[in-house]
Amino acid sequence: MVRLILDSSAGGYPVLIGTNLQRELRNVVTRLDPTGAAIITDTNVRPWAVKAAKAIKRAGLKTAIHAVPAGEHSKTMSQLQHVLSFLERQQIDRGGCVIAVGGGTVGDLAGLAAAMWQRGVRLIAVPTTLLAMVDSSIGGKTGVNGRRSKNAIGTFWQPSAVVSDLAAIETLPAPSYRDAFAEVVKYAVAMDRGLFDLLQRNAPRLADDRDLVMLQRVVFRCVAAKALVVAKDERDRGPRAILNYGHTAGHALEAASGFRISHGRAVAFGMRVAADIAVSMELCSRRVAESQDALLDVFGLPGRPPRADPNRVIAAIALDKKARRGKVAWVMPRRIGHAEIGHAVPGALVRRAVTRALA
Ligand code: GLY
């Protein structure tokens, strides 16, 4: 097992990454010494919530499990209301804690409930997907979707601990496992050359074998990369935008395809588009784009060309939520392991790159 201590305005918190971490979860709960604990999970990963409940009971606490329907469609105000009612029934007081066992949807929903209940109770994140381990469990973003807008209703609420049990990854469906590598490659290209080299050397072992020893190194490096940038910009007002690499065109493709394409495939598409534009603008060499794309190929990302109308993708890019006064700020790779935020891109280059990536 490896452990990192992450900085946050609410104090440092540990992130534990390893295999079969029930005892570590028990120790985390013992150390936090909450007055009560409520587990939020989803219907797909209930067995992991049951394991967590056993660990919590061994720490001498009673707990109960609330499972929301699995899937992004549970990130709603109405599911949030159910979670809050559950916390009320469980009589979680200000000294209590919420334990989120699941992927990004559960983490975002339970995190927001923890931030709101009693004006904020502690949160322990137990991510069960690779994507949640490398991204959403770190950095304190919580939220639910509005009727028309993703993650529109939320807050920043940092966890008190994150316990990433890699054993959960063994049971992940293949598409969900593969998809997470879009975010992993994102960290590598935008922030961490060493991670890029590690991925290049071990991509087949990771893509086909789910080698847990190698995954532990990968998750550790992704968390460390994200932690560095979140420590500089916890509330996402500036440098944290680097984590948006690949997301400008990626989010646009998700929207243009009616959210029928997975986030990972969309982000991989977005990274290809951004790197293609960066080559055209002479911000990076063609080699950078080619080696990024070759690595994405090993993980089958984005797979067959996404089916979407280029005009709709281009229109959606203009509506990017990180745009300021109508100007879209792109994150652009300069070399492997280093990207820059805030680049303006001529419309003709966007059109050419999007059209090429959809061909
Ligand atoms: N997933 C991007 C961020 O946490 O800022």
The pLDDT value given to residue 323: 79
Instruction: For CATH 1.20.1090.10, list the domain ranges present in the chain.
Output: 182-358
Which tokens belong to 13? 């918190």
Q: Phi and psi at residue 53, in whole multiples of 5°? A: -60, -40
The pLDDT value given to residue 16: 98
102-301-167 Cα angle (round to 5): 30
The pLDDT value given to residue 258: 85
> How far is it, in rounded angstroms, from Cα 358 to Cα 336?
24
**Which among 186, 235, 244 is the best mutation to test ligand 1's pocket, defined by most ligand atoms within 8 Å of the CB?**
244
Nearest-atom number in ligand 1 for the CA of 183 is: 1
CATH (one of 3.40.50.720, 3.40.50.1970, 3.40.30.10, 3.40.50.12280) for 2-172: 3.40.50.1970
pLDDT band at 259 (very low <50, low <70, confident <90, very high): confident
The pLDDT value given to residue 40: 98
Q: What is the DSSP letter of 186?
A: H
Q: What would the pLDDT profile of 182-232 be if each residue is shown by its tens digit?
A: 999 999 999 999 999 999 999 988 999 999 999 999 999 999 999 999 999
CA 89 – ligand 1 centroid, Å: 32
The pLDDT value given to residue 305: 76
> How far is it, in rounded angstroms, from Cα 223 to Cα 294?
24
pLDDT band at 147 (very low <50, low <70, confident <90, very high): confident
Atom 3 of ligand 1: nearest residue by CA position: 243
CA 135 – ligand 1 centroid, Å: 7
Q: Within 6 Å (CB) of ligand 1, which residues are found?
A: 135, 139, 141, 236, 240, 243
CA 336 – ligand 1 centroid, Å: 20
Identify the CA nearest to 152 among candidates 69, 226, 75: 75
Domain 182-358 fold is: Dehydroquinate synthase-like, alpha domain (1.20.1090)
The pLDDT value given to residue 215: 97
Nearest-atom number in ligand 1 for the CA of 240 is: 5
The pLDDT value given to residue 182: 98
* pLDDT (average), residues 173-187: 96
Instruction: For CATH 3.40.50.1970, list the domain ranges present in the chain.
Output: 2-172
Q: What would the pLDDT profile of 266-324 be if each residue is shown by its tens digit?
A: 999 999 999 999 999 999 999 999 999 999 999 999 998 778 999 999 999 988 877 77
Indicate the angle between helix axes 193-209 and 174-191, nearest 10 degrees.
Answer: 170
- Give the chain's count of helices (H) and strands (E): 13, 11
Nearest-atom number in ligand 1 for the CA of 243 is: 2
CA 244 – ligand 1 centroid, Å: 7
The pLDDT mean for the chain works out to: 96
Residue 38 has pLDDT above 90, yes or no: yes
Atom 4 of ligand 1: nearest residue by CA position: 139
CA 35 – ligand 1 centroid, Å: 31
pLDDT band at 339 (very low <50, low <70, confident <90, very high): very high
* pLDDT (average), residues 248-257: 94
